Amino acid sequence: DKVRIWSVLSTVPAPLPEEKRLRKTVGRLAAYLRGYGGLLVQANGWDPEVLRRFLADDFVAKYQKALDGFTTLEELQHLSTLIPAEWLAISAAGTPEECARTVAQQFDLGVTGVIMHGATPDELTPVVEAYRRIRPQGWLQAIGTNPGWMP
């Protein structure tokens, strides 16, 4: 009761233009992989050889700016060929209803709160509305609407 576990969940609700969607998914994960990829690979049980190939890619190795901030659509498309789909599947992506279901599934994993990361308030509004319709009943109400607040 004294420990709160938060899921920081990349949330990418549709519809978004391709470049923006790729920036929020592929570009962001690419930036993380370049920064602390070894930790992500280890924590998620991913293949370290995929990370090695990603980091050795000529574009990735030479690009000096943030991979999720300044890349072109073509560069993001190239990065998408280097990152396995299952690595990208750890985000909440799709329709607001699909995103809301992914948020709800985080609680099945044992978290007490979810931070929907990487989206603007306008992008998140439909996701929050969809989540309100499916919000699990029971133990979540016992910890209140702000699970960070501990009585």
Phi then psi dihedrals of residue 114, to 5 deg: -125, 125
Segment 12-47, tens digit of pLDDT: 999 889 999 999 999 999 999 999 999 999 999 999
What's the order of all strands across the beta sheet hosting 92-94?
92-94, 6-13, 113-117
CA gyration radius, the chain: 17
What residue segments make up the domains of the chain, in order of their start?
6-143
Q: What's the pLDDT band for 71 if we cut at 50, 70, 90? A: very high
Mean pLDDT over residues 78-107, rounded? 95
Which residue in the block uniquely carries the two structure tokens 């599934």? 105
> Which two structure tokens, joined as six digits, stand for 3?
């420990």
On the 0-12 / 13-18 / 19+ scale of CB atoms within 10 A, 55 is middle
Separation CA 58–CA 56 (nearest Å): 6
Q: What's the pLDDT band for 146 if we cut at 50, 70, 90? A: low
